[in-house]
């Protein structure tokens, strides 16, 4: 007997997210209408802002890269039944790792420093995830609570370090000095320029290849390795995991280490790829967007890729909108993004049951 609301795959992965997105845009449109602007014009502005020119595409993909890392981080943990809300803090601390490598070894060859920076990002992110994971696995502390707390601790720690330790001497704003030339991830326009293809400058950089590789590796890990299998067993049915002899403690630790490592890679994209120094609050909420991305992408790398593109476009298009429309300010854009997260994340199932009933009826009448 199937549970009510089970959908065919194409509807579950395609139609349902689309419906959710449309609902979010519809309500956003109403709000824009309410403040006296044209929703249609706003939509066009946003689309143009996200995809209208080479550099806007570059920005969209740059943001999307962030969301792929944090989205995958959430997804890996969710497959093990662990809800890691701490992507923001893990990304922040991962960035610290990248930054320390950039500051210390910036004069070396990029062939050494970039991989070193990636390794440091993973290690620092994973280390930040390890403490809540250990507390959950060994002491039963609730990981949702501890990871949220660790976001705050990360924030306070970074502020302290940037204000007191890493700050560039003789400067007012809490930022480190610039990394050396070796600690720079080549940007896409530079890379394309080298092979003779012109592309407008943007922060879009080769960390996006790392994001694609991460998608593939996560897919292989989750669905093609015995460890991924064990992780999914534990996530879906902890009793069955006990029965199978899969250690809950180990599973929680492994999933959180991978999750934290992935979140940490955000620092590679932001710091090595764009900022080239450590600055305050560079993750900018991407760790939380990762939760929505993972939800919308059904915790599958392909879905996460698509959802990241959407959110990248929303970020880039939204800032363009705030720039171009007099009545739409930055907060309006946050509202639109919030509505998309609300409908695609928190309310992702509101259309499920009616849609399933509709499809079932259509299928039933089609057969007879």
Partner 1 sequence: MEPESPAPEAPGGSPGPALELRAIDKRFGAVHANRAVSLSVARGSIHGLIGENGAGKSTLMNIVYGFHTADSGEIRVNGRRVVIGRPRDSIEAGIGMVHQHFMLVERFTVLENVVLGAEGGRLLGKGLGEARAGLERLGRDYGLDVPLDAETGHLPVGMQQRVEILKALHHRADILILDEPTSVLTPPEADQLFRMLALLRDQGKTVILVTHKLREIMAITDRVTVMRQGAVVHETATRDTTPRALAEQIVGRAVLLRVEKKPARPGPALLEVRNLEVRDRFGVPRVKGATFSLRAGEIVGIAGVSGNGQSELLEALSGIRRPSGGAILLGGRDIAGENVGPRDRRGLGIAHVPEDRLRMGVVGSFSAEDNSILGYEGRPEFSGGGILRRGAIRSGCERKMAAYDIRPPAPRLRITAFSGGNQQKVVMAREIDSKPSVLIVGQPTRGVDIGAIEFIHRRIVELRDAGKAVLVVSVELDEIMGLSDRILVMAGGEFVGEVSGEEANERTLGLMMAGVRGDPRK
- Contact residues toward partner 1 (CB under 8 A) are 1-2, 4, 6, 220, 224-227, 229-230, 232-233, 236-237, 239-240, 242-247, 356, 360, 364
Buried b (16+ CB within 10 A) or exposed e, 213-245: ebbeebbebbeeeeebebbbbbbeeeeebeeee
- Give dist(CA 335, CA 27) in Å, integer: 10
| CA 90 vs CA 2, 155, 265, 304, 307: distances in Å | 39, 10, 9, 19, 21
CB of 77 to partner 1, least distance (A): 17
| CB half-sphere exposure, 48, CA atoms < 13 A | 11
C-beta of 54 vs 247, nearer to partner 1 = 247
Which one, 159 or 237, has the nearer CB to partner 1? 237
Closer residue to partner 1 in complex, CB, 225/329:
225
Phi and psi, residue 132, nearest 5°: -60, -35
Residue 112, C-beta contacts closer than 8 angstroms, at least 6 positions apart: 105, 182
Choose between 152 and 243: whose C-beta lies nearer to partner 1: 243
- In angstroms, what is the C-alpha Rg of the chain? 22
- The minimum distance between CB 246 and partner 1, in angstroms, equals 8
Q: Which is nearer to partner 1, 172 or 239 (CB)?
A: 239
Q: Nearest approach, Cβ of 230 to partner 1 (angstroms)?
A: 7
CB of 223 to partner 1, least distance (A): 8
Nearest to 146 by CA among 94, 235, 77: 77
Q: How far is the CB of 147 from partner 1 (least distance, A)?
A: 25
Query: Of 106, 103, 147, 98, which is closest to residue 123 (Cα–Cα)?
Result: 98
CB of 1 to partner 1, least distance (A): 5
**Residue placing its CB nearer to partner 1 in the complex, 1 or 194:** 1
Q: Using the structure block, give the residue that is written with the tokens 């007879």.
A: 368
Q: Of the candidates 84, 101, 71, 118, which has an alpha carbon nearest to the alpha carbon of residue 257?
A: 84
Nearer to partner 1, 155 or 247 (CB): 247
Place of tokens 């959950």: 136
Nearer to partner 1, 6 or 330 (CB): 6
Tokens of 183: 């600690």
Report helix, strand or coil for 187. Answer: strand
Record the tokens describing residue 361, joined without a space.
């009826």
Q: In whole angstroms, give the CA distance from residue 300 to residue 72.
A: 8
How many residues are recorded in the chain? 368
Work out how close the CB of 360 gets to partner 1 at its nearest, in angstroms, rounded to a whole number.
6
Q: How far is the CB of 6 from partner 1 (least distance, A)?
A: 6
């Amino acid at each position: 007997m199937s549970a009510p609301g089970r959908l065919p795959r194409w509807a579950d992965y395609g139609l349902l997210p689309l419906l959710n997105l449309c609902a979010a845009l519809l309500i956003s449109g109403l709000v824009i209408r309410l403040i006296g602007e044209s929703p249609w014009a706003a939509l066009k502005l946003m689309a143009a802002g996200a995809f209208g020119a080479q550099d806007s595409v570059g920005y969209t993909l740059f943001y999307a890269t962030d969301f792929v890392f944090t989205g995958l981080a959430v997804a890996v943990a969710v497959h093990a039944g662990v809800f890691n809300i701490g992507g923001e803090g893990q990304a922040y601390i991962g960035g610290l790792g990248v930054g320390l490598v950039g500051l210390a070894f910036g004069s070396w060859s990029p062939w050494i420093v970039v991989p070193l920076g990636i390794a440091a990002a993973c290690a620092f992110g994973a280390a930040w995830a390890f403490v809540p994971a250990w507390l959950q696995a060994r002491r039963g502390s609730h990981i949702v609570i501890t990871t949220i707390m660790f976001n705050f601790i990360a924030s306070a720690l970074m502020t302290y370090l940037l204000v007191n330790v890493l700050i560039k001497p003789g400067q007012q704003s809490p930022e480190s000095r610039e990394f050396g030339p070796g600690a720079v991830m080549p940007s896409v326009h530079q890379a394309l320029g080298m092979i003779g293809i012109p592309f407008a400058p943007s922060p879009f950089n080769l960390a996006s290849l790392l994001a694609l590789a991460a998608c593939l590796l996560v897919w292989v890990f989750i669905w093609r390795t015995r460890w991924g299998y064990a992780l999914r067993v534990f996530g879906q049915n902890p009793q069955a995991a006990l029965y199978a002899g899969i250690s809950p403690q180990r599973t929680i630790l492994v999933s959180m280490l991978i999750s934290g490592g992935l979140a940490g890679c955000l620092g590679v994209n932001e710091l090595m790829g764009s900022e080239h120094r450590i600055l305050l609050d560079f993750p900018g909420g991407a760790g939380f967007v990762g939760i929505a991305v993972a939800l919308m992408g059904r915790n599958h790398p392909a879905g996460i890729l698509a959802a990241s593109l959407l959110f990248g476009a929303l970020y880039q298009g939204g800032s363009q909108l705030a720039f171009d429309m007099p009545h739409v300010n930055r907060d309006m854009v946050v509202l639109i993004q919030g509505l998309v997260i609300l409908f695609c994340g928190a309310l992702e199932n509101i259309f499920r049951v009616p849609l399933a009933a509709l499809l079932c009826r259509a299928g039933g009448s089609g057969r007879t």
